[in-house]
Amino acid sequence: MHVPVSGLAPGRHYWYAFTALGRTSRVGRTRTAPRGRVSRVTFAAANCQAFHDGYYAAHRGIARENVDFVVHLGDYIYEHGQVGGVPETHVRDHDGPEILTLADYRKRHALYKGDKSLREAHAAHPWFLTWDDHEVVNDYSGTGGGAPFMRRRAAAYQAWFEHMPHRDSFGGMALPDPEIHRVRRWGDLLELSVLDLRSYRSAQNLPDGTILGAEQKAWLKRTVDRAPDSWHVWANSIMLSQLRGRPGGSYMFTDQWDGFLAERKEVLGHVHKSGLEDLVVITGDWHSAFVDDIRTDFDQPDSPLVGTEFTAHSVTSGAYSPEWNTANGPLMGKANPHLKYFEGNRYGYDVYEVTPERFTTHIRVIGDRRDPNSPVTTLTKFHVDRGKAGSYEDEGTKGSLAQYRRD
Ligand SMILES: [Fe+2]
């Protein structure tokens, strides 16, 4: 059910319910974006919530957060069967093998929505959504894969649209290809650009490859050119910053922006040339937390600093082992001079607290993803000051668990 509501007043809460066939739904709450001067906004970001890997204590936490909105950064569902996960991490069973048809995708979305905490988080806040690969299939690229793939993608997108609080971006019909990239403003304080890094991308590692697609890239550049004097946040499903596995080594994954080097350089060069300041990129996919300062050329540590990327822990999806993290955290730190922080042993979400002077990221973690009521704590906090690119960890939490932090 999609009801495109209009005529609401800015900057206030609304409550809503649905009535059909003699039954009335629970009451949900949403919030409209304010206009004009805004002195504070808080929002949360979640990503990667493999159902079989655990309970959504993180969403229970998000439902209880005093935030204006939630951003989901992708991997809302996983398309694979249970065999696709790591068996020892399975906490909840789900039936069925890898999903392929519209009926399959609908059933998988319904399974995920069966989780009470996820429903609570939706009922408590408005959401902005992007997606990553697992909403369709692992590591897919755009339209590459021929007719059977395109039928599968259309089925996946349709089921996604049916189950998500999403309005088509440019006023047209959402299906068969929902346009999910968009820009939204929260008064004069924050401009949020939601990116779609799956639908229009080419194959990886091509000299003229694209992760945005030509149209979305032109749109993003225009958005940068027209940007107001405010914080600029990009909802970015998959890591933007360069990530080498070890000094002198290769990139960890070229499914992320590291597989699209020329385009990354072009986009970040455009950000710098346009004079855009106060850019914060929020990212999912990695199932671990990173903080990276963004340079126009990551191989030149003295190239201009244009922003900061916060990559959030996953809600439940399995990360690398503590042993891997302990061994590789310091190597990644050494190999990537822009990398400030890495923590991969925990699960949770991020909360961002934004004022005209400061952008603060609270890295929230749950105690145990096997416990649906696991309590939420703040592992550490980082901040960026307005007009000064670069991130800083709060002194009070520098002693917290991490497998790498730059001193
Ligand atoms: Fe994921």
Domain coordinates of the chain in residue numbers? 37-405
Confidence of residue 187 (pLDDT cuts 50, 70, 90): very high
CA separation, residue 315 to residues 117, 126, 243, 378 (Å):
12, 18, 22, 14
Tell me which DSSP letter residue 89 carries: G
Fold adopted by 37-405: Purple Acid Phosphatase; chain A, domain 2 (3.60.21)
pLDDT at 100 over 80: yes
Strands 305-311 and 289-295: antiparallel
Distance 288 CA to ligand 1 centre (A): 10
Residue 135, pLDDT above cutoff 80:
yes
The Cβ-side half-sphere exposure at 327, using a 13 Å CA radius, reads: 6
Residue 56 CA to residue 372 CA, distance in Å, equals: 6
CA of 72 to the centre of ligand 1 (A): 12
Q: Is the pLDDT of residue 83 over 70?
A: no
* Per-residue pLDDT tens over the stretch 249-306: 999 999 999 999 999 999 999 999 999 999 999 999 999 999 999 999 999 999 999 9
Local structure of 12: helix, strand or coil: coil
Distance 317 CA to ligand 1 centre (A): 6
Between the CA of 75 and the centroid of ligand 1 the distance, in Å, is 5
Of 7, 13, 35, 26, whose CA–CA distance to 230 is shortest? 35
What's the mean pLDDT when you consider all of the chain? 95
Q: 138 C-alpha to center of ligand 1: Å?
A: 9
Q: What mean pLDDT is predicted for residues 364-379?
A: 98
- The rounded Å distance from CA 47 to ligand 1 centre is 7
55: CB partners within 8 A, 6+ apart? 91, 92, 115, 117, 316, 369, 370, 371, 372, 374
> 176 falls in which pLDDT band (50, 70, 90)?
confident
Q: How far is the CA of 52 from the centre of ligand 1 (A)?
A: 13
Which residues have C-beta under 5 Å from ligand 1, the single-atom ion? 48, 75, 317
This prediction has a pTM of 0.97
Q: How confident is the model at residue 168 (pLDDT cuts 50, 70, 90)?
A: confident
Nearest to 191 by CA among 18, 354, 58, 387: 354
